[in-house]
Amino acid sequence: MDHQSLLKDLAKRLETPGLPSQVEIGRGARVDQPLVSRARKGQLIRYTDRVKRLDEYVTMRVAMLPHPPSTRTRGRRNAGAAVDREVMDRCRDFLAGGGDPNLLLDQLALLRRAVSSTK
């Protein structure tokens, strides 16, 4: 995916209802709030390391938002949904306790690779 597409996708994700304030997003991603604002408005030109950090953090925060049940999750047993909630709660607790969001993202990526290599 080219950098302009990545920047457009980031701007769309920053519009997701339920995200924290730009200041909190900046703090969590370890970037300044004006960068978050410019990204949300689609004013960024380059996909730098700072923008990548912001992108990864926002992606993680959007993934942690409660989603309405989809056709995929409606068919699951309640036990599966309970596990999903527990995973999300533990991720929130980790972040609320000052956990590094980039560490969490790295660990999730590692788990994805491990699962995909076993299939």
For every residue of the chain, DSSP letters joined together read --HHHHHHHHHHHHT-TT---HHHHHHHHTS-HHHHHHHHTT------HHHHHHHHHHHHHHHHS-----HHHHTS-HHHHHHHHHHHHHHHHHHHTT--HHHHHHHHHHHHHHHHHH-
Q: Sorting pLDDT into bands at 50, 70 and 90, what band is 108?
A: confident
| Cα 40 from Cα 48, distance rounded (Å) | 15
Q: Sorting pLDDT into bands at 50, 70 and 90, what band is 35?
A: very high
- More confident position, 91 or 42: 42
Residues 105/60, Cβ–Cβ less than 8 Å: yes
The first and second tokens of residue 57, run together, are 């953090």
Closest CA to 65 of 23, 113, 25: 25
Q: Is the pTM of this model over 0.95?
A: no
Closest CA to 19 of 44, 6, 1, 37: 37
Question: What local confidence, expressed as pLDDT, does residue 50 receive?
Answer: 95
- More confident position, 82 or 74: 82
Q: In the predicted model, what is the mean pLDDT of residues 20-33?
A: 94
- For residue 15, pLDDT over 90 is answered with yes
| Cα 35 from Cα 79, distance rounded (Å) | 41
